[in-house]
Chain A
Amino acid sequence: MRIQHALSYGAMALLGAFGLSITAPATAAAWEPTKPVEFVIPAGTGGGADQMARLIQGVVVKHNLMKQSLIPINKSGGAGAEGFLDVKGAKGEPHKIIITLSNTFTTPLATGVPFNWKELTPVAMLALDQFVLWVNAESPYKTAKEYLDAVKKAGPNKFKMGGTGSKQEDQIITVAIEKAAGVKFTYIPFKGGGDVATQLVGKHIDSSVNNPIEAVAQWRAGSLRALCVFDDTRMPYKEKVTTTMSWNDIPTCKEAGVPIDYVMLRGIFTTPGATKEQVDFYVNLFRKVRETPEWKDFMEKGAFNQSFMAGPDYVKWLGNAETLHYGLMKEAGFLAKP
């Protein structure tokens, strides 16, 4: 379960260095969009990717970062495959970008849809999204260990884990927990992260692995409890979110004895055959987006891991992530039957 953290932190350091020297290569960005850019979202309205894409759209408008407008379009069919196939099919049309989730890797593996991230042109990684193990605040479990012990004691299929979609990141993490802790959950797939959080508050399920942004409202209101974060290190945000806790106060699952480490890509791709100038334009655009206060605020609210990557680093990261997902999906038996 190792995701290349060293790599992503390395890239952050690299970015720091890069930030100083950014003035020099800026002249190379000769290309500019000549018409509105379609921003494909391979997920439904209201979800995590959708929120981020619409925030970016707003930030671009507000700070006038681009002459042409950025138009988000949801193409959520077939667990996002619709969006990917659309971008894949628009070869040579640079006015189209797509924001990705883990379904970049999982959907083609689980459904057999003919698509691979290598068929698109990678632009940049915007951030990495964390996963947290949540239980209802009224349940007696104060730590991940207590909870998993109870799950183990109850026997297989007695505890219900809710998540978004089938054979996607939430279920992958669930399977990983089962392997690591020697337990067995009943996994119940729902349509969206918001549904999952609600079901947990209503005690229809026992736990979830929601992203921070999906569950933060219920956490602050004291109806959910965060047990651990699926990462190597704790989240860096030290400002109090609830009355007593900050994101930083949530222990890692490793500390709790379940060494699982999984983060989700929030990255940007563009169409196949895009030139270097075109990719550079978008990379610069997203660099500027990252500097805005709205973006920083959004990152903090959702406790995102603010790694940024572009160019060969990003491609390398993607390659590793693909291998990782293939391994995880294969182990879990989620690969599509040929």
Chain B
Amino acid sequence: MEKKNESAGVAAKGISTRAAEIAVALMFFLVGGVVVFDSYRIGSGWSSDGPQAGYFPFYIGLIICISSLVTLGQSLFGAASRSDKVFVEWSQLKQVLSVLVPAALFIGGIQLIGIYIAATIYIAVFMVWLGNYSWLKGIVIGFAVSAVSFATFEIWFQVPLFKGALDPLRFLGY
């Protein structure tokens, strides 16, 4: 999967691997720190009858911090720091975001209008924008997927799915 691009001018082509490494290592450090902090708060010692609630998480957080510092050091000063590999090219990033952003909007949509309607719209829009299908095909397939899931979950298995804050399907009585 990984595209290796050895040519110069990383910034022009995309986000450098080095920058990504540093960002992820910092994220890990932050998570580790949070874990250590909360574990210390609830007690991270070894009481008479074994470890306290925070004992394991405390050391887990500590290990996360240490390993992320090592990775951070490597990407800042190590051999990797001089690498000019591209983590993701701008064109690729655009492709990835073209899935990620609609997916996030879709989930936001679920929150508002429920899973079934959001799914119909999402599938239709995805097919039309990224797949160049006609609106008719998109809407038919989107509707079909929603209808099948509705039948499967609400009617057949009786698992109520999220209908959204506005609940536009209220009239169906589910």
Contacts and interface: CB of A to CB of B under 8 A. Distances in A.
Taking the complex as a whole, does A directly touch B, i.e. does some CB pair lie under 8 Å apart?
Answer: yes
A69 interface: yes
Interface string A51-93: 0000000000000000001010100000000000000000000
Contacts of B158: 36, 69, 71
Contacts of A71: 158-160
B160 A36 contact: yes
Contacts of B174: 35-36
Contacts of A34: 173
Name the interface size band of chain A.
under 10
Interface residues of B, number: 6
Contacts of A69: 158
Contacts of B2: none
Contacts of B159: 71
Contact of B173 (A35, A38, A73): A35
Nearest to B170: A35
Nearest to A68: B173
Nearest to B42: A337
Interface string A35-46: 110100000000
Nearest to B173: A35
A186 interface: yes
Interface string A16-42: 000000000000000000111010000
Nearest to B172: A35
A69 B174 CA distance: 10
Interface string B135-174: 0000000000000000000000011100000000000011
B49 A38 contact: no
A116 to B, nearest CB: 24
Find the residue from A34, A69, A71 having the highest chain B CB count within 10 A. Answer: A71
A157 B49 CA distance: 10
A180 B35 CA distance: 41
Nearest to B53: A166
B7 to A, nearest CB: 50
B111 to A, nearest CB: 15
A35 B174 CA distance: 5
Interface string A174-205: 00000000000010000000000000000000
A96 to B, nearest CB: 10
Contacts of A157: 49
B127 to A, nearest CB: 32
A174 to B, nearest CB: 14
Interface in A305-338: none
A71 B155 CA distance: 11
A273 B174 CA distance: 21
A186 B160 contact: no
A73 B159 CA distance: 8
Contacts of B160: 36, 38, 71, 73
A35 B172 CA distance: 9
Nearest to A38: B160
A160 B41 CA distance: 29
Nearest to A70: B158
Given A36-B158, A36-B160, A71-B160, A186 B49 contact: yes
A157 B47 CA distance: 15
Nearest to B158: A71
A35 B167 CA distance: 13
A186 B50 CA distance: 12
Nearest to A166: B53
B114 to A, nearest CB: 14
A214 to B, nearest CB: 25
Given A35-B173, A36-B158, 12 more contacts: A34-B173, A35-B174, A36-B160, A36-B174, A38-B160, A69-B158, A71-B158, A71-B159, A71-B160, A73-B160, A157-B49, A186-B49
Interface of B: 49, 158-160, 173-174
12 contacts: A34-B173, A35-B173, A35-B174, A36-B158, A36-B160, A38-B160, A69-B158, A71-B158, A71-B160, A73-B160, A157-B49, A186-B49
- Give the 4 A-B CB pairs with smallest separation, nearest first: A71-B158, A35-B173, A35-B174, A69-B158
Interface of A: 34-36, 38, 69, 71, 73, 157, 186
